[in-house]
Amino acid sequence: MHAITLATLAAFPDQLEAHFAAFPPGFRQWAPPSWDGVPSEPLTALEQLCHLRDIEVDGYQGRIRRTLAEDGPLLASIDTDALVRERAYARDEPARVLTSFRAARAATMEMIRGLSDAQLARSAVFEGYGPLTLRSLIHYLCSHDQQHLAGLQWLLGKVHASGPG
């Protein structure tokens, strides 16, 4: 696996926490009047944290395990909107979510560090993405992280456009 990809994945929990900390406390669950142009899912700052935690465990870790263990599995996409409702993201505690995410990312890093070229070449089909290898799935995870940092920056722009300093 590319060293930059592994380093970026490992650094993400700190970046996520710093981005979340940039939100004024009263705006961690705030939604803009329009989500037009948002580069991630239309989620509040707190909902973004919860989404990342759940996609790490229920999404990417499961997909990695299946790709390593099965021949050509179909990897399902996850309905973010359903998770927001079912898991009551708006009522979650940010510190608890960040701690859970850090632990989940550490487990993911343990899963992917040291994979052989043969393991990274294992194939699957990811709903909405098509055929892929485990290596490409790991790149998609890294891309997903960056998408959510962009979404948090976009949301901070909307927060500051609405008035708070």
Q: How far apart are CA 67 and CA 136, in angstroms?
A: 11
Q: What percentage of the chain has pLDDT greater than the value 70?
A: 99
Strand partners, 132: 124
Q: How far apart are CA 148 and CA 70, in angstroms?
A: 29
Q: Please state whether beta strands 123-126 and 130-133 pair in parallel, antiparallel, or not at all (unpaired).
A: antiparallel
Digit-coded pLDDT (tens) for 21-75 = 999 999 999 999 999 999 999 999 999 999 999 999 999 999 999 999 999 999 9
Looking at residue 164, what is its pLDDT?
60
Looking at residue 147, what is its pLDDT?
97
Domain residue limits at 14: 3-161
**Domains of the chain: total:** 1
Are the CB atoms for 16 and 98 separated by under 8 Å? yes
Comparing C-alpha atoms, which of 60, 40, 45 is closest to residue 105? Answer: 60
**Backbone φ, ψ for residue 89 (5° rounding):** -55, -40
pLDDT bracket for residue 165 (50, 70, 90): low
Q: How far apart are CA 127 and CA 59, in angstroms?
A: 12
Are the CB atoms for 44 and 28 separated by under 8 Å? yes
CATH classification of the domain holding 61: 1.20.120.450
Digit-coded pLDDT (tens) for 103-115 = 999 999 999 999 9
Comparing C-alpha atoms, which of 45, 51, 57 is closest to residue 18? Answer: 45
For residue 71, the 8-state DSSP code is S
